[in-house]
Amino acid sequence: MAVGSNPSRPLITELVAELVRSRMGPALGRIAPITLMVDELNQLRNEVARLRRELNHVLRVLGQEEKLPQQPRPPFLLLDAEVISIRHSADKMPILLKAEEGYACIYLNDNDGRARGLFQIDENGSARFEIWNKDQEVVVSIGETKDGAGEIFVASADGKPRAGLKVHELGGIVSAQNSAGQTNVLMLGKDQGGTFVVADAEGRPVAEITTVDGDGVVSIKGKTGYQTAYMGCDENRGLIAVLGKEGEQAVALTSNEKGGTLVFFDSKGEPKSSLPK
CA distances from 191 to 14, 164, 233 (A): 95, 21, 20
The predicted pLDDT at position 86 comes to: 83
pLDDT at 7: 47
Higher pLDDT, 230 or 58: 230
For the whole prediction, is pTM greater than 0.85? no
Strand partners, 111: none
pLDDT, average across residues 269-276: 86
Average pLDDT, the chain: 82
Res 21: pLDDT: 57
Strand partners, 174: 165, 187
The pLDDT tens digits for 111-158 are: 888 999 999 998 888 899 999 999 999 999 999 988 888 999 999 999
Task: Say what the pLDDT of residue 77 is.
Answer: 63
pLDDT score at 233: 87
Write out pLDDT tens, residues 199-228.
999 999 999 999 988 889 999 998 888 889
Determine the pLDDT at residue 4. Answer: 45
